[in-house]
Chains A and B, each alone.
Chain A
Amino acid sequence: MIKEVIENLPGLIHTVEVGATAQQGGTRSKVIKVGGENALPFLFKEGKIPNPPVIAYEIWDIKPADWPQALGYFYSDVWGDPLEWAEKVVKEYKADLLCLKLMGAHPELNRDIDEEAKLVENILKKVNVPLIIIGCGDDARDNLVLPLCSQVAKGERCLFGEVTQDNYKTLTAAVLADGHNIIAQSPIDINIAKQLNILISELGLELNRIVINPTVGALGYGLEYTYSIMERLRLAGLNQDKTVASPFIGFAGQESWRAKEARAPESEFPQWGKEGRRGYVWEMVTAATLLLAGTDILVMRHPQAVEKVKRYIEEFNKDKEGLCLL
């Protein structure tokens, strides 16, 4: 009989709280906690994993130009109106968490910044789940839009992103002032992930208000590279390097739906089968793998993929011996 090896690690991942209820000065119906574990993902025998991973539904302020029909099937009735979209995923798909991407603020689209802030305010009124708010990725525009959004969401303890090594000061200051958390993005680079956490914390934001986006690749597009970076960061965190002991966020939807295998129509690759089903499987497998790598917050798109991955998380948490079928 082979002896079971149980490894106890001395460190602890920071617990980050997203959302604030009335008691805490916000208007959310609940608080979502991530992190707080002292063991690798799903290794329940090796330590405490108090907060299971969570899934956020990704919604946009504008109609996404490049989302395929497989996603349009669920969202085309609402994606002209972000408020309706938000309501649909919360009511119909029982979203626990929303991730609002303010893509319309991009210089090419140039949506009015006050309008974006107003949208955040209205979404907070329309739905009561905690909120993640992501900029368009253009530094100059994000530095205008996101601080305004941070201000109107003051006290709601949102998760704002994303900051990078070259652009972290403006949003960090806003988030610090308004009581939110921040997403620190690094380009699949363990050294920059650590550096950025230190830069942010030196501006005064506590380490337990940072979530790391290590930048993930989808299945077939660098997922294994992502995995090894996350594993190494997590192991360092669990070995008491507090500067990298942050929960992870992974944009599984965004990455998966970029993959040719998820999008290419059946007419082009008849041997691959129907693209609708392929896409959601791609997202699901990517997301499940990211969970194994230690992702605490998954941002996803396809409701059926979300359902499957939710079940995967539930089953894993029920069956702590670690036997689980997707």
Chain B
Amino acid sequence: MFIVGELINGMYKNIAEAIKTKDKSLIQEYALKQVQAGADALDLNCGPASKDPLRDMPWLVETVQEAVDKPLCLDSSKPKVIEAGLMVAKNKVIINSTTADLEKLEILVDLAKRYNAKLIGLALNSKGVPQDKEQRLELAANIVAYCSEKDFSVEDLYLDPVVLPVNVAQAQQKEVLDSLREFKIISEPAPKTIIGLSNISQGSCLRKLINRTFMAMATAFGLDAAILDPLDKDLMEVIITAELILNKQIYCDAFLEAYYKK
């Protein structure tokens, strides 16, 4: 599983404050902690409180790059903000994200191509969130078709079926899981899949239990990557164990340690 650490997000108060006061140490501490816990990449989001995201995003990128050498996932709804981050990023970036709307695809696929970045494509459009797996598949197929048309490698594309909170959209969860499997048959080579995990438990209690249960299920449905909290040790151990059960790692008694040595 490709793990994208989600904690450097201005939505969290301490991160928002660090961005505001340009406190590098806190940001770098979170970068290091997540990588040590097993993150393969780090999501960076300036958050809604950022007054000047065009400056804050490159500052975040540079600050994190000083501490860790991992790919960064630049998270913003504004392409200009993403580009500001792309300009200073050292490693191959993951752009988070485009929707299936043509006007979004035009800008973001072009951006990804120009900066040789990967791209997350959300299976939704301006009409709203899909209601079943058919709608998700259609939107995902549109994204893949547009990428192929523009010669953007499908291997650099992550499709996100859009996870919704279980407390308001219980009927959607099975649809999301099925989509993970069906996205794989859209093209050859198959696109990769990703989810933003925490959405599943938004507004619920026992959030961690819901997160890790859903994660185990999504892993079984062939999920490739997830944006999540790598400091949630139980969650990480569930992922490792789920992959072990799926025969993605060779079993040994110290299989948890083995994963972290890997």
Residues of A within 8 A of B261 (CB): 198, 201, 207, 242-243
Which positions 175-199 of chain A face chain B at CB distance < 8 Å?
A: 190-192, 194-195, 198-199
Interface residue B205 (Cβ < 8 Å from any Cβ of A): no
Interface residues of A (CB under 8 A from B): 190-192, 194-195, 198-199, 201-202, 207, 232-233, 236, 240-244
- Report yes or no: A198 in contact with B254, Cβ–Cβ below 8 A: yes
Interface of A is mostly: helix
- Report yes or no: A192 in contact with B262, Cβ–Cβ below 8 A: no
B116 → chain A closest CB, angstroms: 18
Q: 8 closest A-B pairs (Cβ-Cβ)?
A: A195-B252, A194-B252, A198-B254, A243-B258, A191-B252, A191-B251, A195-B253, A194-B250
- Report yes or no: A198 in contact with B252, Cβ–Cβ below 8 A: yes
Residues of B within 8 A of A199 (CB): 254
B83 → chain A closest CB, angstroms: 29
Q: A198-B257, A240-B262 are in contact. Are A233 and B252 (CB under 8 A)?
A: no
- Report yes or no: B250 in contact with A233, Cβ–Cβ below 8 A: yes
Complex CA–CA separation, A264 to B218 (angstroms):
59
Given pairs A195-B254, A198-B252, A241-B250, 18 additional interface contacts (CB within 8 A): A190-B250, A191-B251, A191-B253, A192-B252, A195-B252, A198-B254, A198-B257, A198-B258, A198-B261, A199-B254, A202-B257, A232-B250, A241-B258, A242-B261, A242-B262, A243-B252, A243-B258, A243-B262
A184 → chain B closest CB, angstroms: 12
B82 → chain A closest CB, angstroms: 27
Residues of A within 8 A of B258 (CB): 194, 198, 241, 243
Complex CA–CA separation, A232 to B249 (angstroms):
11
Residues of B within 8 A of A194 (CB): 250-252, 258
Question: What are 21 A-B interface contacts by the 8 Å CB criterion?
Answer: A191-B250, A192-B252, A194-B250, A195-B252, A195-B254, A198-B252, A198-B254, A199-B254, A201-B261, A232-B250, A233-B250, A236-B249, A236-B250, A240-B262, A241-B249, A241-B258, A242-B262, A243-B252, A243-B258, A243-B261, A243-B262
Which positions 198-252 of chain B face chain A at CB distance < 8 Å?
A: 249-252
Residues of B within 8 A of A198 (CB): 252, 254, 257-258, 261
Residues of A within 8 A of B253 (CB): 191, 195
Complex CA–CA separation, A243 to B250 (angstroms):
10
A128 → chain B closest CB, angstroms: 36
A195 closest partner in B (C-beta): B252
Residues of B within 8 A of A190 (CB): 250
Residues of B within 8 A of A192 (CB): 252
A193 → chain B closest CB, angstroms: 8
Complex CA–CA separation, A195 to B253 (angstroms):
6
Complex CA–CA separation, A233 to B249 (angstroms):
10
A236 → chain B closest CB, angstroms: 5
Complex CA–CA separation, A202 to B254 (angstroms):
11
Complex CA–CA separation, A201 to B253 (angstroms):
15
- Report yes or no: A244 in contact with B250, Cβ–Cβ below 8 A: yes
Residues of B within 8 A of A207 (CB): 261
Residues of B within 8 A of A242 (CB): 261-262
Residues of B within 8 A of A202 (CB): 257
Complex CA–CA separation, A241 to B262 (angstroms):
5
Residues of A within 8 A of B254 (CB): 195, 198-199
B91 → chain A closest CB, angstroms: 16
Complex CA–CA separation, A192 to B251 (angstroms):
9
Complex CA–CA separation, A241 to B253 (angstroms):
15
